[in-house]
Amino acid sequence: MPLFSSIFSELESQVSSFLTETSCPSLQQTEELLLEGVEESLSLANLARLLQLGAAPDAEEQRELFRHFVRQHWSPTVMYLRYIAPIYVSSFCIDACPYCNFSANRRTAIRRRLSLEELEREVRQVLERDMRVIELVYATDPEFTTDLLVRYVAKVVELLDGEPGTGVLLCTEYLTNEAYLALRDAGLWGIVQWDETLDRRAYRRWHSPSPQKREFELRMDNHDRAMAAGLEVATGALFGLADFRYDVLMQIAKARHLAEQYGRGPFVFGTARLKPIAGQNLHLQTEVSDGAYETSLLVYKLAMPNAGRWLQTRETFELNLKNLLDGDVFTYRCGEVRPGGYQASEKQLKGGQFGVNELERDYVESKLAERNVRISYAWINPEKPVYSALPAVGCRKTQAGHTL
């Protein structure tokens, strides 16, 4: 099967030229594009036009129309969000991303690696809170060989005890297809990997000092390797590392590639946005404004209606409330984004990977209930493909007959 890397160079130049040639659509043109977008999959060139709404300072009217249009189409009377509980397993990292507190260059970072017994205690904390879909999060920790990852996944699967709706996800650096086959056999349901950016020059600027992560080409095919092993995938860019318009279009191109090749696309787009770290602002030219961020979320929905967007605790709850739609993934606690965080007694987020807004369940659920939004804590259905578990509104068929 062709991998994403086999079409990357062509896509890269196409997307770059669309962005050079595109212009911001008027109100009427925006409406025409949106109507076309629910009838058939919009081309990348047309999606590039809609993304201009996030870059233009005077496009608030068009953005409002876009938001209203998407809500009309993808927010039923009662909406369901899918909850994922991240459990951090290790903060030891050989890589050196400048935007991360776990970077190998941060000599004062607090490092911890959970033993299997400690992992079990964390999982029990999460289960007590009714959360049944668990993401194991690792930095690039060389201690975690495939065999060890298999043991950790198998332990969580055992603790979930075959309860309906439960599942385990894994967030590590890229792995081999053989590793994913072994992890799938241990009961893994899917992987989470953000591509960070698919702008290769920006990627090199950010990641060339990282011994493992610098492998741009190897990394970009990781979703292919996982899907070929039968796993589900979350993909996404880290907004702020490069031009957000380029990153959104490349993520959509990748999602469409995966849907064509494997009969199912990613179940969710990650929407992480770079934030100041340890009180320091990165002052980037590629900083993504709220308008650009919200436009990106809308474009993802229009382009791939059956993939959710993962609304992040890095954003404020108010912003997430404004943007959420049926089928989105939502997380309000991240175990303080560090190993052992669910058992921590102290309130401050000391030693976490990055800054987050952790919230109390009662508060979140009451605010969501005011909007007829519920959280599903056990939403995985292994009997059905991911897409059939989600609302059928807005499904698209590709020429090859795949549902997008």
Say whether residue 241 binds ligand SF4 (CB under 6 A): no
State the distance between the two ends of the chain, measured CA to CA, in whole angstroms.
Answer: 19
Residue closer to ligand SF4 by CB (options 7, 277) is 277
Tokens of 22: 């595109």
What's the closest the beta carbon of residue 100 comes to ligand SF4, in angstroms? 3
What's the closest the beta carbon of residue 138 comes to ligand SF4, in angstroms? 8
In 3D space, the residue among 102, 277, 286 whose CA is nearest the CA of residue 202 turns out to be 286
Question: Given candidates 93, 227, 297, 356, which one binds ligand SF4 under the rule CB under 6 A?
Answer: 93
Question: Given candidates 15, 119, 123, 139, which one binds ligand SF4 under the rule CB under 6 A?
Answer: 139
Say whether residue 103 binds ligand SF4 (CB under 6 A): yes
Stretch that binds ligand SF4, among 8-16, 36-44, 90-98, 229-237 (CB under 6 A): 90-98
For ligand SF4, how many residues bind (rule: CB under 6 A)? 9
Q: Pairing relation of β-strands 133-138 and 167-171?
A: parallel
Say whether residue 100 binds ligand SF4 (CB under 6 A): yes
What's the closest the beta carbon of residue 98 comes to ligand SF4, in angstroms? 8
Q: Where are the alpha helices (DSSP H) in 75-145?
A: 116-128
What's the closest the beta carbon of residue 172 comes to ligand SF4, in angstroms? 9
Q: Going by C-beta distance under 8 Å and a sequence separation of 6 or more, which residues neighbour residue 76? A: 326, 391, 393
Torsion of Cα atoms, 120 then 122 then 125 then 130, to 10°: -80
Angle between helices 244-262 and 290-303 in degrees, nearest 10: 20
- How many other C-beta atoms are found inside a 10 Å radius of the C-beta of residue 277? 17
Say whether residue 140 binds ligand SF4 (CB under 6 A): yes
Q: Going by C-beta distance under 8 Å and a sequence separation of 6 or more, which residues neighbour residue 133? A: 82, 83, 84, 85, 165, 166, 167, 168, 169, 377, 378, 379, 380
What's the closest the beta carbon of residue 106 comes to ligand SF4, in angstroms? 8
Stretch that binds ligand SF4, among 17-25, 93-101, 332-340, 395-403 (CB under 6 A): 93-101
Question: Given candidates 82, 132, 155, 213, which one binds ligand SF4 under the rule CB under 6 A?
Answer: 213
Kindly list the residues in this chain that would bind ligand SF4 in the complex (CB under 6 A).
93, 95, 97, 100, 102-103, 139-140, 213
